[in-house]
Amino acid sequence: MPIFEYRCRKCDHEFETFVWSSRDEESLSCPKCDAKEVKKLLSSFSSKGSLAGVLSSGCGSGGLGGFG
């Protein structure tokens, strides 16, 4: 179930919502001012921790025969 971030072009309110299809996206409105003029934002992906432990763990070769 995809969650997208949007910003209202009228009141500048940012919000997240579930979007099942392009039809759902067309009917979106700002939850603060009810305006239909919303813009999808680029979301950044984040995860807990860092890759440092994974990259230096020595686990596996990633299918590269030990040359990765």
Contact status, residue 9 vs residue 37, Cβ threshold 8 Å: yes
What is the reported pTM?
Answer: 0.59
HSE, CB side, 13 Å, CA atoms: give it for residue 62.
6
Task: Identify residue 67 by its one-letter amino acid code.
Answer: F
* Fold category of 3-43 in CATH: Rubrerythrin, domain 2 (2.20.28)
- As a whole number of angstroms, the distance between CA 31 and CA 66 comes to 53
Local structure of residue 11 (DSSP, 8 states): T
What is the spatial distance between Cα 8 and Cα 34, in angstroms, rounded to a whole number?
A: 9
pLDDT digits (tens, 9 = 90+) for 14-66: 999 988 888 888 899 999 999 999 999 987 655 455 555 555 555 555 555 55
At residue 18, the pLDDT reads 87
